[in-house]
Structure 1
Amino acid sequence: MVPDNVVETASLAGAGPAASKAPGKSASAYAAALLAIERHRPPGAPGADPRPVRSVGVIGAGLMASQLALVFAKQLGVPVLITDLSQAKVDGALAWVAAHLDKLVRRGQLSQTAARELGDLVRGTVDKNEYRNCDVVIEAVFEELSVKRAVLADIEPLLRADALLLTNTSSLCVTAMGRGLAHPERLVGLHFFNPVAVLPLVEIIRTENNDDASVATACSLARLLGKTAVLVTDTPGFVVNRILTRLFCELLQVIDDGADIELADHALDPLGLPMTPLTLLGFIGPAVQLHICETMHAAYPDRFYVSTSLAAIADARLRGYLDKPGTVLPEAAALLPAADAGNPPVPDTDAIQARILDALAEEVGLMLAEKVVAGPAEVDLCMLLGANFPQHQGGLTPLLDLSGASRRVWGTEFHPGSGFAE
């Protein structure tokens, strides 16, 4: 059975006789309604008053940290401080900010005066003691638990008692990051998506240690940044990365078992996704995706597969399975495991698509059972805004209902009575 918190959403879907005759239109209307709701506070957010945010600190000087610094300055209009271990890295981040502002001026999206004022808001230093004046500090360093824990432990004693501490982790356990901190109640996950200025979703990861004021401040901050926030419990991968990684794992296992790369990669084309899975993997990077797969495998070893071909491609430092035009790289094809005569017959496109959709239906149902999010609507909001899943399909759960995957896996739909599966 689908978990109890899979709720009736017919009112959102606009379901009725007409909707049941045209499930595609109904799914599109459902998605449009989701996106049209103005969310001052995501479902499940506490009613506590948020603390004011008058200054922000960003730990790290890589691309994500630089993007965050600029978005904070532009949207909040407050001073932003960047630090890193070396002045050269800090200077590189400041140079990126300046270059990006220049680009916006050239495009006519920003005046010279506004660009200068924004640039003046962002400054850098290697002196971590300057964080003492920040209301919010967010770390955006390498996605490794031990690294993030060390950074947070180092910075916490320098902060004011009421300062909010944020991590921009994409899949790691926020609770584990907070172990050893004097005040783990103020550590909240704020997962932005790349590019930060473009993708409107923020996953806010709440732990059992958090106090209401810290979570309320994180939710308010997301709104002030112009983002749509979804409140997520502290589980591996959260929503978007958990679903996408399950998709990658199923596809790569099929490829490792001998399926043609192009056939497998294009099996989901009829769903209208923004790009093929292997194209997306090339943007993410094989080493990064391998690390995420390994993290998810450690948490759920029976469902998340670590691909031997992906490991080999990452080790060879290839850009992925495909070149930029989307053709299979010969070097990648050469790293695939040799076909085993004892393996079952290679599935066709329809079988690969059904396998992946069934896996996603299983994962969504389990996420709802774990109360990772409030309901299916939050899953769809995450996939629409964080992964660009097509609006005409309703995001993800209406598609799973329409394809029959929900019923095959759980015996019922995520949106019973909506008309998606008619």
Structure 2
Amino acid sequence: MLYQGSALSVTTDGDGIATLTFDREGESVNTLSSRVIGELEEAVGAIEAAPNLTGLILASAKSAFIVGADITEFHGLFAKGEDYLVEMNQTVHALFNRLEDLPFPSVSAINGLALGGGFEITLTTDFRVMAEKAEVGLPETRLGILPGWGGCVRLPRLVGADNAIEWIAGGTQNKAAEALRIGAVDAVLPAEELLEAARDILKRAARGELDHQARRAMKTGPLGLNGVEQMMAFETAKGYVAGKAGRHYPAPVEAVKVVQKGAGESRERAQAIEAKAFAKLALTDVCYNLVGLFLNDQQVKKKAGAYEKQAPELNQAAVLGAGIMGGGIAYQSASKGVPILMKDIREEAIQLGLKEARKLFVKQVERGKLDTATMAERLTGIRPTLSYGDFGTVDLVVEAVVENPDVKTAVLGEVEAAVGEGAILASNTSTISISRLAKALKRPERFCGMHFFNPVHRMPLVEVIRGEHTGDEAVAATVAYARRMGKTPIVVNDCPGFLVNRVLFPYFGGFERLLAQGADYEHVDKVMEGFGWPMGPAYLLDVVGLDTARHAAEVLAEGFPDRMAQQDGSVVARLVDDGRLGQKNSRGFYRYEEDRKGKPRKVRDEEARALVAESVQDTRELDDETIIAHLMVPLCLETVRCLEDGIVGTPAEADTALIYGIGFPPFRGGALRYIDAMGLEAFVALADRLAEEHGALYRPTERLREMAAGGERFYPATGDSAAR
């Protein structure tokens, strides 16, 4: 044993080959925390001092290789400022360079995920062998930064600028076959053969059969492109990457620039360029919020995992109500290996649901995600039925019939009588009280809400709603099923609209107030899309369905009349009365035509504009900041109320739900991080100004006033001074 630490060790064999094994004590995965980097420096020192070594293998004792740096440290480290970050990265560069410069060949045995710094350390070795099911990548741009430990330097020299830019700017996780194709690794093998293959490579290199020095020379010298080739590679890439990333996400374009600036430089000079760019990005609001989003996501997953451990076994699911939503739920369940019955009372609805599921499977085949044999096998996991005959063995039923309390109550009563006493019932309702629906059930403790977002296969969030009588086992089972389906479940308590719709409709209420003041809805859409939303409020209402939105608004108005009561002359009501339902009938705020791919494309509708104009009560000049405030303040305030009312448990869950459920701009971190960024005192003052004219929808809670007066925040202030 050359070295033994709490996170890694170094052993040697009879052939003089050293193996540096990462195995972080007490953790399920390896990360490169500050402490691990400290141990790595000691281990490298021990390797350098050891006599008669002939080679080095980097390996992992865990199922993943190294999943990256320890992101839980980021906010604290980034708070130390630019100079500290540059020095920190340069220190790691120097350490990694010592690994790269060892006087004997080296190889990485990548047995599982190798991401970020975990992949960057493998790039220091002369060779890389990879398990068939392993994946590698540099996802740093997804956190608003760029690879800072040599990824922007070594990867382009190893695989070429074009391939490296695609991986780095895209932040992709790449399978073994792709890594082998572009030359990021040298061999792909079954996991159990990796270490033997690594030893064989080192022995061949020692015999001169493999030229490890040529590999090093390629990685440590300038990138082999002349001026014209550089211009073609990088200028084209910058334009393409900028278009894909959008103006709110600077890291991907900055990464291309770093590769370009370092292309003609030596290893050390290119690394200095990389370190400086990393530090600048690390201090941006975008990075701060995206790192916060990652940490929130981990917290949400941890809570869901705790529920999952309490869940009963789930072998058979069922969905009531076919059609688009039922077909989407059936597809998602079957695609993740949970067989599902799909019941409806009409054969044509069953066929529609099967058609929807089949269409989604075909798309997976077209994208190369599935082969036709696997598609056929998974399709058999969906069993259509017109009766309850096979429901005796079902473990969990998702009711997804029409959004009508009387219909849902009747259907839930029927299915409760058909299933075993241990079965869990869940309603896919977006607005109807779970406690209300439970009143007709004999076993209300085994009933909860399971609110999917449309389209089911794309939207990651599932709200699991706990009613007044819902038991822990029902919640645990539903959370576990959502996780099996590949979704992010967040448990919320029952109230009108639950969490996401309760928060979204004050945003629409602010939109109605803007229209009453004469705002042009097309301009409002452009402003909010510029703010970062995937679509503006008018477009979003069309996608949701204007009739659906009208119904939900009525439910919320009944539940919260002080601030959500419908305004006289509601624009949405006026459009619905004119037969405009949005995208579903191609007429809403916009008119919809099919594009070349058969997808709906919105175009201006002068008739709709005339109808909206009839609701204008007071024409005034509204600048972009005023438009943003009218929409964001009520949304943020309702999020605060949901937290204070105990509808959602933590700021992390609230913000994650908004980002995953309605597309809140991720780079802004969520509604509560948005308030923190503005400052609670400034936010309360803004809300008070709007409340003077527009009333309770804009009025801060007393608790929020107390927080503002006391200098409190929703999230800890660690790193905040550096991120502003």
Q: Write the distance in 1 (CA, Å) between the matches of 2:334 and 2:511.
A: 40
RMSD between aligned residues: 2.7
Higher RCO (CA-CA < 8 Å; seq separation 6+)? 1
Q: Write the distance in 1 (CA, Å) between the matches of 2:482 and 2:616.
A: 50
Q: Which moved more, 1:321-330 or 1:111-120?
A: 321-330
Q: Write the distance in 1 (CA, Å) between the matches of 2:552 and 2:314.
A: 32
Q: Write the distance in 2 (CA, Å) between the matches of 1:371 and 1:12.
A: 30
Q: Equivalent of 1:387, from 627, 649, 662?
A: 662
Query: In the alignment, what sits opposite 1:5?
Result: none
- 1:65 equivalent to 2:365? Answer no
Q: Equivalent of 2:523, from 259, 263, 283?
A: 263
Q: Write the distance in 2 (CA, Å) between the matches of 1:11 and 1:241.
A: 34
Q: Write the distance in 1 (CA, Å) between the matches of 2:354 and 2:542.
A: 27
Higher helix share goes to which structure? 2
Counterparts in 2 of 1:48 and 1:184: CA distance versus 1, 3 Å: farther
Aligned AA for 1:335? Answer: L
Q: Equivalent of 1:54, from 305, 315, 318?
A: 315
Following superposition, the deviation at residue 236 of structure 1 comes to 1.5
Counterparts in 2 of 1:12 and 1:164: CA distance versus 1, 3 Å: farther
TM-score (norm 2): 0.53
- 1:414 equivalent to 2:714? Answer yes
Give aligned pairs, total.
Answer: 410
Counterparts in 2 of 1:364 and 1:103: CA distance versus 1, 3 Å: closer
Query: In the alignment, what sits opposite 2:571?
Result: 309
Query: In the alignment, what sits opposite 1:123?
Result: 383
Counterparts in 2 of 1:164 and 1:356: CA distance versus 1, 3 Å: same
Please give the secondary structure, in 2, of the residue aligned with 1:332: helix
Counterparts in 2 of 1:314 and 1:213: CA distance versus 1, 3 Å: same
Counterparts in 2 of 1:12 and 1:117: CA distance versus 1, 3 Å: same
- 1:398 equivalent to 2:673? Answer yes
Q: Deviations along 1:25-66, whole A, 9 cap, x unmatched? A: 3222211322355725339x6587311111111100110100
Aligned AA for 1:114? Answer: T
Query: In the alignment, what sits opposite 2:433?
Result: 173
Matches within 5 A, 1:6-405: 14=76, 16=79, 18=81, 22-36=284-298, 39-42=301-304, 49-75=310-336, 77-306=337-566, 308-318=570-580, 319=582, 320-324=588-592, 326-336=602-612, 338=614, 343=618, 345=620, 347-404=622-679
Structure with bigger gyration radius: 2
TM-score (norm 1): 0.88
Q: Write the distance in 1 (CA, Å) between the matches of 2:481 and 2:616.
A: 53
Aligned AA for 1:389? Answer: F
Q: Write the distance in 2 (CA, Å) between the matches of 1:339 and 1:125.
A: 48
CA contact under 8 A between 2:308 and 2:477: conserved in structure 1?
A: no
Please give the secondary structure, in 2, of the residue aligned with 1:143: coil
Counterparts in 2 of 1:134 and 1:303: CA distance versus 1, 3 Å: same
Counterparts in 2 of 1:339 and 1:380: CA distance versus 1, 3 Å: closer
Following superposition, the deviation at residue 163 of structure 1 comes to 0.3
Q: Write the distance in 2 (CA, Å) between the matches of 1:228 and 1:86.
A: 32
Q: Write the distance in 2 (CA, Å) between the matches of 1:37 and 1:263.
A: 37
Following superposition, the deviation at residue 93 of structure 1 comes to 1.7
Q: Deviations along 1:333-373, whole A, 9 cap, x unmatched? A: 121253667x4745433222222222123212211110111
Please give the secondary structure, in 1, of the residue aligned with 2:301: coil
Following superposition, the deviation at residue 154 of structure 1 comes to 1.9
Q: Write the distance in 1 (CA, Å) between the matches of 2:466 and 2:286.
A: 34
Q: Deviations along 1:182-206, whole A, 9 cap, x unmatched? A: 0011111111112212222111111
Aligned AA for 2:552? Answer: I
CA contact under 8 A between 2:550 and 2:573: conserved in structure 1?
A: yes
Query: In the alignment, what sits opposite 2:175?
Result: none
Following superposition, the deviation at residue 171 of structure 1 comes to 2.1
Aligned AA for 2:629? Answer: A
Counterparts in 2 of 1:91 and 1:268: CA distance versus 1, 3 Å: closer
Q: Which moved more, 1:289-298 or 1:391-400?
A: 391-400
Aligned AA for 1:179? Answer: K
Counterparts in 2 of 1:245 and 1:195: CA distance versus 1, 3 Å: same
Q: Write the distance in 2 (CA, Å) between the matches of 1:12 and 1:407.
A: 30
Q: Which moved more, 1:254-263 or 1:63-72?
A: 254-263
Query: In the alignment, what sits opposite 1:3?
Result: none
Please give the secondary structure, in 2, of the residue aligned with 1:415: coil
Q: Write the distance in 2 (CA, Å) between the matches of 1:368 and 1:37.
A: 16
Counterparts in 2 of 1:38 and 1:246: CA distance versus 1, 3 Å: closer
Aligned AA for 1:378? Answer: E
Q: Write the distance in 1 (CA, Å) between the matches of 2:445 and 2:357.
A: 32
CA contact under 8 A between 1:61 and 1:82: conserved in structure 2?
A: yes
Q: Structure 1: state its 5+ residue gaps.
A: 1-9
Counterparts in 2 of 1:105 and 1:314: CA distance versus 1, 3 Å: same
Q: Structure 2: state its 5+ residue gaps.
A: 1-71, 83-281, 583-587, 593-600, 686-699
Query: In the alignment, what sits opposite 2:266?
Result: none
